[in-house]
Structure 1
Amino acid sequence: MSTIITREIEYTANDGKQLIGFFAAPSTKHPVAGILVGPEWWGRNEYVVQRAKELAEQGYATLAIDMYGDKQTTENATEAYDLMMETFAEPNTLLNRANAALATLAAQPEVDPERLAAVGFCFGGKIALELARAGAPIHVAASFHGTLQTNNPAKAGVVKADVLVCHGADDSMVSLDDVEQIRKELEDAQVSHEILVLEHAKHGFTNPKSDERAKNAGVDLAYNAEAEHKSFAALDALLKKRLA
Structure 2
Amino acid sequence: MEYPALVPGTLLRRYKRFLADVRLDDGREVVAHCPNTGSMRAVNVPGCRVWLSPSDKPARKLAWTWELIELPQPDGTSAAASVHTGRANRVVEEALRSGRIEELAGHAAIQREATVAGSRLDFRLDDPERGSTFVEVKQVTLREADGHGYFPDAVSVRGRKHLAALAALAAQGHRAVLLFCVAHESIEDVAPASHLDPAYAASLREVAGLGVEVMARRCEVIREAGVPVAIRLGRRLPVSLSRELDPAMVVD
Please say whether Structure 1 and Structure 2 have the same fold, judged by a TM-score greater than 0.5.
no
Which is strand-richer, 1 or 2?
2
TM-score (norm 2): 0.28
TM-score (norm 1): 0.29
Which is helix-richer, 1 or 2?
1
Q: Which structure would you say has the larger Rg? A: 2
